[in-house]
Amino acid sequence: MQHSEHALDNVLPHLRDGLIEAPNPQALSRHLDAIFSASPFIAKHCAAQPDLLVSLLNSGDLLSPYSAGQYSKNAQAALTSTSDDGTFMRQLRHFRHREMIRIAWRDLAGWAETEETLRDLTHLAESCIQAALAQAQTTLSDRYGVPRSAAGKAQEMSVIGMGKLGGHELNFSSDIDLIFAFPERGQTDGKTSLDNQQFFIRVGQQLIKLLNETTADGFVYRVDMRLRPFGDSGALAASFPAIEDYYLLHGREWERYAMI
């Protein structure tokens, strides 16, 4: 109960005005103690940042299900353009904390069906991955130029979600299983040029760091890359043709089924 009491001491003064304006403030008040007691995660982050709950309440996000694409919109609003990875990582972790508190609160309060909770956890992960991918590709493109095919077409990395992420079955503590792929071989067009595969390997390494590294604000997701072609011994990023060849020539049955 220490987490709960400490969080309540910090949060309740900030919530008072919001509760007055909220629909059914009595219902919200009844849920406070039970939810803080049931979720050390919510208690910890609300104690550290009591304005998180106020923001969720005042925006209406806590009280309503999200429409399609809302996580991407929220990520764009929360993540200011920055070339500093430390700043980006802090913003991304704060964004995830806010949205995870919303999802957990709605789940524990009985305001969301299981299907909504699973869908929200998946869409949140997808929005965090997309934001980290954009940050990593921008950083590496600034250094090495844009990766292009032999015909000069710009290339971008695709991130394939496997396991629970791919099956839309993420829970609150799930790792994310990923595969990194890019369309075609070629090289970047900067003064310092890289082979496309080496470029996207570096993008993948940077993406993993942005999500996986533990900072003072925690981590976003633990990233597991072992389901990629050839597992730990395989390249971190591979071209579409190379991945297709792997599944045709080397993939085990369960690996092929996992891609369906």
Instruction: Determine the distance from the C-alpha atom of residue 39 to the mean position of all C-alpha atoms in its chain, rounded to a whole number.
Output: 20
What pLDDT, in 10s, does the model give residues 108-154? Answer: 989 999 999 999 999 999 999 999 999 999 999 999 999 999 999 99
Cα distance between residue 179 and residue 195, in whole Å: 19
User: Mean pLDDT over residues 159-166, rounded?
Assistant: 95
pLDDT score of 4: 45
Query: Please, which pLDDT band fits residue 53 given cuts at 50, 70 and 90?
Result: confident
Q: Is residue 164 a part of any domain in this protein?
A: yes
pLDDT score of 47: 76
Cβ neighbours, 10 Å, residue 214: 10
pLDDT score of 218: 94
pLDDT beyond 70 at 103: yes
Q: What percent of the chain has pLDDT over 90?
A: 69
- Count CA within 13 A, CB hemisphere, residue 80: 5
Domain count of the fold of the chain: 1
Assign 3-class secondary structure to the chain: CHHHHHHHHHHHHHHHHHHHHCCCHHHHHHHHHHHHHHCHHHHHHHHHCCHHHHHHHHHCCCCCCCCCCHHHHHHHHHCCCCCCHHHHHHHHHHHHHHHHHHHHHHHHCCCCCHHHHHHHHHHHHHHHHHHHHHHHHHHHHHHHCCEEECCCCECCCEEEEEHHHHCCCCCCCCCEEEEEEECCCEEECCCCCCEHHHHHHHHHHHHHHHHHCCECCECCCCEECCCCCCHHHCCCEEEHHHHHHHHHHCCCHHHHHHCC
Q: 156 near 138, Cβ under 8 Å?
A: no
Q: 124 near 71, Cβ under 8 Å?
A: yes
Q: What is the CATH number of the domain that holds 204?
A: 3.30.460.10
Q: 131 near 75, Cβ under 8 Å?
A: yes
Domain that holds residue 153: 65-258
Q: Is residue 39 a part of any domain in this protein?
A: no
Instruction: Determine the distance from the C-alpha atom of residue 19 to the mean position of all C-alpha atoms in its chain, rounded to a whole number.
Output: 30
Q: Which among 97, 117, 98, 115 is positioned nearest to 107, based on CA atoms? A: 117
Cα distance between residue 74 and residue 129, in whole Å: 14
User: Mean pLDDT over residues 96-100, rounded?
Assistant: 95
pLDDT score of 48: 78
What pLDDT, in 10s, does the model give residues 196-237? Answer: 999 999 999 999 999 999 999 999 999 999 999 999 999 999
Q: Is residue 82 a part of any domain in this protein?
A: yes
pLDDT beyond 80 at 104: yes
pLDDT score of 71: 96
pLDDT score of 108: 92
Q: Is residue 23 a part of any domain in this protein?
A: no
- Name the average pLDDT for the chain: 89
Q: Is residue 20 a part of any domain in this protein?
A: no
pLDDT score of 228: 96
Query: Please, which pLDDT band fits residue 23 given cuts at 50, 70 and 90?
Result: low
Query: Please, which pLDDT band fits residue 24 given cuts at 50, 70 and 90?
Result: low
Cα distance between residue 178 and residue 167, in whole Å: 12
User: Mean pLDDT over residues 233-259, rounded?
Assistant: 92
Query: Please, which pLDDT band fits residue 256 given cuts at 50, 70 and 90?
Result: confident
Q: Is residue 10 a part of any domain in this protein?
A: no
Query: Please, which pLDDT band fits residue 193 given cuts at 50, 70 and 90?
Result: very high
pLDDT score of 16: 54
Q: Is residue 8 a part of any domain in this protein?
A: no
